[in-house]
Amino acid sequence: MLVPPLRPLATLNLEPNIRSRLHNAGYRTTADLGNVTAEALAQELGVPLHQANSVVQQLNKDTVVSISALEALARERRRLSISTFSKAFDSMLGGSGVPTGRVTEICGAPGMGKTQLGMQLCVNVQIPISCGGAEGEAIYIDTEGSFVVERVAEIARATYRSVGGSEENEKEQVDEYLSRIHYFRIHGYLEQIALINQMDQFLKKHPNVKLMVIDSIAFHFRQNFTDMGLRTRLLNGMAQNFRRFADMSDMAVVLMNQMTTRITRGEQSNNNTATLVPALGDSWGHASTNRIILFWQRELRHAMIVKSPNLQQRTIQYAVTGDGIRDPPTTNPTPNNPRKRPLDE
Amino acid sequence: MTILISIDWNDDKLTDATNKLASVGIRTVRDLLLADRQLLCRTGLSNETLNLLTDAVVELSQSKPTPGDVALEEQRAQHKFLSTGCPGIDQLLEGGLALGEFVEFAGPPATGKTQLCFFTAITTTADDPTATVLYIDSGNAFSASRLSDMYTYSDRFQQSRESGMDTKNILSRVRCIPCFDAFSLVDIMEEVQKSLADKTTDFFSMVRLLIIDSIGALLSPMVGYGQSQGYVIMMTIAQILKSIALSHGISILVTNYSVSSDFKSTDVGRPFSGGKEGARRERTKPALGTTWSYVPNVRLYFTLDEEPSIEGKEDDEVLTYRNRQGDIIPLVKRRIDIYASHRLRAGDGCHLYIGSSELLSFPSQ
């Protein structure tokens, strides 16, 4: 019979100061702290009682919650989606739009309509449940300074009309739409990390937030970093938080990302190839649950879903109009029957 | 550390002695072995009793050698494999995931790692009507609807469907624990280990497969230069996982990120002999560094077979597969190579085809 390994105290989430005090006092594993009370510990380490309490609390944590896939299936079916107002875009995302409870990353070169899409979602998340919406509030984290309130008002007006709102109280309704978008302007990567780390408190005060848009995640992380390992760690730490928000509050997290050029070296120095890939490097590619790339093709905007645990890889067309995101006006259906080659191996 | 009074001695004299020792603060095995003999005698216990107790404790604490032939017998009895559901990958793994083995799927995003985890989970529950699977999800990627679709429509499970095993039965034997940071992963692993040892529920007494998708998401923010705490957590998790795998005969399956390998010249990356197709070189490698590379028994590396091109997409041929119901399913092609293993030849590989409800791979002749 194997003896279960003992858990080192370093695997608890403690402040460095407490950790070294525990170490100096001779505590090495959680078993050593088995019968120690918070009062005795506070006295022995010479720290305030609340700090000792935090140590003891971590040892008596809650039991782990697991759900069966059957329960998860029921939960997934109950989840709401946020429509983009482009039928093709929605169907690419599984039928009714950007899913809540998931992290969706949207990558695209400048001018593809990432910000437009973000603003459209901020408005659409507020559509009442009776009209097929999520009836929630939105958080918009703007790192690039591209959020234009007049434009949001325009989109909100169009949305209000399309769900059948009457004309007389249009102005109040549009104002109300705007009042339910919480806007944060971020000027540096430290600010960005600080905001994400404090988001839990904000979400506690605003439990009805169903959408978080970050436009863009990459902006402050593409310069001023000499230690790329540090950048990767910070980004992955943030990604953990996004996934937690999505799951705990059942909200949709939408991350906008920029594109960058990758030079692939060929056999000789003269046949290097350049491809456009999402920014922030290889490990960031794992951060999101769904990843969508926006690109131009024959003067039409296209969106392609490239990563998803439950959706098929496919490409669709969409348009950006005065009213917001819509299907392209020409009834030019996406070529959905390419040449097929049967698999024989 | 073992507490003395918690040991069942079957001997009143020794039980009495441990109670006396506990009253003077000698609680654990270590306390007893390191204590000053003269001090111990003051408790009123005779030297003889103390010797008896010390011998008994040493006897209990040491690990006993197993003769090679017995070990072989034991290993043969345990020599069972879980199928991944894909014959080609099972052949690559020379049978599948061995019970007690630690397997890692690493690779860039969207290469089919999570899909193969899902498929292996369903195959495990479909092949053995009592087996259960524990899925620890850190990537927010666990999709019960995808599991349900795979079981309901894939040709692989036609036989189990016809034998009357319904989707509900399959899904109720897969349990998912969401996990968002490395600290809570240690908490979860500690608790899982306890539940497995105590067999608290029917579920925990029948676990055959434990999946962590993905370990890279949890550990990568914590490891790197000057981050000693991250390594303590990483190796604690590795130890617990290995101990679970061996003592309960459970296959451990983890997925990992990829990071770019240092490419300074054209001679980059780790060469894959790539079976018949000649040497291939990748510009990425599994994440988490050298320390972690010693942990998995088998590491598979997933890659896109060719770079997806955004331009001229609709002119491309699409691979399709006609399933037994006659539906035509479009497929995407991925490549899986053995990156490192103690029992398989590194560099061997096969293709994996992913469709809407189907995962296919073909054994080579």
Residues 6+ positions from B285 with CB-CB distance below 8 Å = B258, B259, B260, B261, B269, B270, B301
| Pair of tokens at residue B271 | 């060469």
Percent of chain A with pLDDT over 70: 92
One domain for residues B128 and B21:
no
pLDDT at B275: 39
Q: Yes or no: say if A300 and A285 are a contact pair by the CB < 8 Å rule.
A: no
CA distance A213 to A287: 15
pLDDT band at A281 (very low <50, low <70, confident <90, very high): confident
One domain for residues B88 and B51:
no
Contact (CB<8Å) B176/A285: no
pLDDT at A337: 53
Question: How far is B185 from chain A, CA to nearest CA, in Å?
Answer: 10
Does B316 fall in a domain?
no
* B7 contact A CB<8A: no
Nearest residue of A to residue B111 by CA position?
A307
Q: Are strands B359-360 and A103-108 parallel, antiparallel or unpaired?
A: unpaired
User: Using CB atoms and an 8 Å cut-off, which of residues 235-294 of chain B contact chain A?
Assistant: 236, 239-240, 243, 246-247, 257-260, 263, 266, 268, 283-284, 287
Question: How far is A218 from chain B, CA to nearest CA, in Å?
Answer: 17
Does B255 fall in a domain?
yes
One domain for residues B277 and B166:
yes
CA distance B55 to B296: 37
One domain for residues B166 and B215:
yes
Secondary structure (3-state) at A202 = helix
Secondary structure (3-state) at A165 = coil
pLDDT at B272: 52
Does B70 fall in a domain?
no
Candidate from B114, B118, B180 with C-beta closest to A244? B180
Candidate from A10, A229, A343 with C-beta closest to B319? A343
Indicate the DSSP class of residue A317: E
Question: How far is A234 from chain B, CA to nearest CA, in Å?
Answer: 7
Look up residue A187 and give its amino acid.
H
Average of per-residue pLDDT values in chain A: 86
Q: Residue A340 pLDDT more than 50?
A: yes
Most confident of A25-39, A215-229, A259-273, B119-133: B119-133
Q: Measured between beta carbons, which residues in chain B are less than 8 angstroms from residue A236?
A: 217, 220-221
Q: Measured between beta carbons, which residues in chain B are less than 8 angstroms from residue A8?
A: 232, 236
Give the number of other CB atoms < 10 A from CB of residue A230: 13
Candidate from B147, B171, B220 with C-beta closest to A232? B220
Look up residue B282 and give its amino acid.
E
Q: What b/e sequence results for A22-47 when a residue is b if at least 16 CB atoms lie within 10 Å of its CB, and e otherwise?
A: beeeebeebbbbeeeebeebbeebeb
Tell me which residue of B224, B243, B230 sits closest to B295, measured CA to CA: B243
| Pair of tokens at residue A14 | 């403690």
Question: How far is A315 from chain B, CA to nearest CA, in Å?
Answer: 9
Region label for A204, one of left (φ > 0), alpha (ψ between -120 and 50) or beta (otherwise)? alpha
One domain for residues B171 and B48:
no
Look up residue A340 and give its amino acid.
K
pLDDT band at A232 (very low <50, low <70, confident <90, very high): confident
Look up residue A179 and give its amino acid.
S
One domain for residues B110 and B44:
no
Does B96 fall in a domain?
yes
pLDDT at A268: 60
CA distance A266 to A8: 48
Look up residue A253 and give its amino acid.
V
One domain for residues B243 and B190:
yes
Indicate the DSSP class of residue A6: P
Q: Residue A131 pLDDT more than 70?
A: yes
Give the number of other CB atoms < 10 A from CB of residue A342: 10
Q: Residue A282 pLDDT more than 60?
A: yes
CA distance A318 to A113: 10
Q: Measured between beta carbons, which residues in chain B are less than 8 angstroms from residue A339?
A: 315-318
One domain for residues B190 and B283:
yes
Alpha helices per DSSP H over chain B:
12-23, 29-34, 37-41, 47-61, 68-78, 87-92, 113-127, 144-153, 158-162, 167-172, 182-198, 202-205, 215-219, 228-248, 289-293
B143 burial level (CB within 10 Å; 0-12, 13-18, 19+): buried
Interface-testing mutation among B133, B232, B261, B310, with chain A (most A C-beta atoms within 10 A): B310
Contact (CB<8Å) A282/B216: no
| Lowest mean pLDDT across A171-185, A202-216, B55-69, B283-297 | B55-69
The boundaries of the domain holding residue B43 are 11-61
Q: Residue A335 pLDDT more than 60?
A: no
Question: How far is A187 from chain B, CA to nearest CA, in Å?
Answer: 23
pLDDT band at A120 (very low <50, low <70, confident <90, very high): very high
Secondary structure (3-state) at A275 = strand
CA distance A208 to A189: 27
Residue at a domain's end among B301, B327, B355: B301
Per CATH, the architecture of A74-344 is what? Answer: 3-Layer(aba) Sandwich (3.40)
Which residue ranges in chain B fall short of pLDDT 50? 264-269, 273-279, 310-315
CA distance B95 to B89: 9
pLDDT at A328: 87
CATH T-level fold of A9-60: DNA polymerase; domain 1 (1.10.150)
pLDDT at A265: 67
Domain count for chain B, please give it: 2
User: Using CB atoms and an 8 Å cut-off, which of residues 200-229 of chain A contact chain B?
Assistant: 229
CATH of the domain at B169: 3.40.50.300
* B140 contact A CB<8A: yes
Q: Measured between beta carbons, which residues in chain B are less than 8 angstroms from residue A13?
A: 181, 183
Does B315 fall in a domain?
no
One domain for residues B144 and B277:
yes
Phi and psi at A119, nearest 5°, equal -65, -40
One domain for residues B135 and B35:
no
Q: What are the pLDDT digits (tens) for B146-187?
A: 999 999 999 999 999 999 999 999 999 999 999 988 989 999
Q: What mean pLDDT is predicted for residues A276-283?
A: 85
* A306 contact B CB<8A: yes
Distances (CA, A) of B337 to A301, B24, B281, B298, B347: 36, 60, 12, 11, 6
User: Using CB atoms and an 8 Å cut-off, which of residues 284-343 of chain B contact chain A?
Assistant: 284, 287, 307-308, 310-311, 313-322, 328, 330-332
B318 burial level (CB within 10 Å; 0-12, 13-18, 19+): middle
| Alpha carbon distance, N-terminus to C-terminus of chain B | 53
Q: What mean pLDDT is predicted for residues A249-253?
A: 93
Q: Residue A267 pLDDT more than 70?
A: no
Residues 6+ positions from B159 with CB-CB distance below 8 Å = none
Domains A9-60 and A74-344 share a fold: no
Q: Yes or no: say if B237 and B277 are a contact pair by the CB < 8 Å rule.
A: no
Q: Yes or no: say if B251 and B209 are a contact pair by the CB < 8 Å rule.
A: yes
Domain residue spans of chain A: 9-60, 74-344
Nearest residue of B to residue A245 by CA position?
B180
Tell me which residue of B94, B170, B188 sits closest to B133, measured CA to CA: B170
One domain for residues B189 and B115:
yes
CA distance A220 to A235: 11
Find where tokens 């494999």 sit.
Answer: B81
